[in-house]
């Protein structure tokens, strides 16, 4: 199920959007504390952000810029400040679309669905997995973070792929070793530990501290 983050201080509008989107099997989370929008974003890990311009504490441009530092997730501005200057500024800040208030809910749903198809078409030629602003390219076995490319060994890539495919779930050490055995990589308990530690060092040095969490006696999880 696709996840939509709503950053809108008019909770009547936010609730109306949520009710409409739920009819299309979309999961939505409404930000309530506008001082910690980025925390909600990181925790919820949405597929699309619907973002108002006029917000308490910091405006939508600020949060758009903060999100763009860590993620390429599609952002759609929804605002009554729909003059050309605001639209141009929104696009320059990294927005993907702009919808002027008041808007028709059916038009909003159509735009969101179109954006989801464009951004997450798994039949496209380039296959990627994304989490916390890190993009794992399944074609060349690399990891992209803040426009920096990290080269992974075959085992590091396969470990990270398995964890990101199951993000939010604990993956047992046995499952990881079985996954690597199937690719004819010789691996045992010690070899797995060495590979995970090396992978962690690469992630930490690139700004992704605690990307992989150890569940003692169980396995590993990306959450």
Domains and CATH numbers, the chain: 3-119 (3.40.50.2300), 128-221 (1.10.10.10)
CA 165 to chain centre: 13
CA nearest to 106, candidates 21, 6, 5, 11 = 21
- The CA distance from 130 to 145, in Å, is 10
pLDDT in tens for each of the 223 residues of the chain? 789 999 999 999 999 999 988 888 888 999 999 999 999 998 888 999 999 988 999 988 999 999 988 888 899 998 887 677 878 888 887 888 888 888 888 888 888 888 888 887 644 444 677 888 788 887 778 888 876 788 899 889 999 999 988 888 999 988 888 877 765 455 677 888 999 999 999 999 888 889 999 998 889 999 8
- The CA distance from 31 to 21, in Å, is 16
């Amino acid at each position: 199920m696709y996840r939509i983050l709503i950053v809108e201080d008019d909770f009547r509008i936010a609730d109306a959007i949520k009710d409409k989107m739920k009819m299309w099997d979309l999961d939505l989370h409404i930000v309530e504390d506008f001082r910690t929008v980025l925390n909600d974003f990181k925790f919820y890990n949405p597929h699309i952000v619907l973002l108002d311009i006029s917000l308490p504490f910091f405006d939508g441009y600020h949060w758009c810029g903060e999100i763009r530092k860590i993620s390429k997730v599609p952002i759609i501005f929804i605002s009554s400040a729909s003059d050309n200057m605001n639209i141009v500024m929104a696009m320059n800040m990294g927005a993907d679309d702009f919808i002027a208030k008041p808007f028709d809910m059916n038009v909003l749903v159509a735009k969101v669905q179109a954006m989801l198809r464009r951004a997450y078409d798994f039949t496209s030629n380039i296959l990627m997995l994304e989490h916390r602003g890190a993009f794992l390219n399944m074609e060349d076995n690399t990891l992209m973070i803040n426009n920096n490319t990290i080269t992974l060994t075959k085992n590091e890539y396969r470990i990270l792929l398995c964890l990101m495919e199951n993000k939010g779930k604990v993956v047992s050490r046995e499952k990881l070793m079985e996954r690597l055995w199937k690719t004819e990589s010789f691996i045992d308990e010690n070899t797995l530990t060495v590979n995970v530690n090396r992978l962690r060092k690469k992630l930490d040095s690139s700004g992704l501290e605690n990307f992989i969490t150890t569940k003692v006696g169980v396995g590993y999880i990306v959450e």
